[in-house]
Amino acid sequence: MKKIIRRATAPTPKFFKVLRNVGLAFAAIGGTILAAPVALPAIVVTIGGYLAVAGGVLTASSQLTVTDDNE
């Protein structure tokens, strides 16, 4: 568990910072679609769910990528 916390707080390469921000945007767009107060077609809601999940996975995996791991 300590290794994961150390990796999460270690420096992240620039490319993965960009990917992390893209993942956050996907998650935000997906969450907005899912929480829309109007009735949307089922395909749009499905796409929103996939965007939210993909954004979360992309953000988490990008955050745990480090520049230097001496272990």
Asked if 19 and 62 count as a contact pair (C-beta separation under 8 A), the reply is: yes
pLDDT band, very low/low/confident/very high, at 21 (cuts 50, 70, 90)? very high
Q: What is the pLDDT of residue 23?
A: 95
- Domain range annotation of the chain: 2-63
Burial of 7 (0-12, 13-18, 19+ CB in 10 A): middle
pLDDT tens track for 24-71: 999 999 999 999 999 999 999 999 999 999 999 999 999 888 887 554
DSSP letters spanning 5-38 = HHHHHS---HHHHHHHHHHHHHHHHHHHHHT-SS
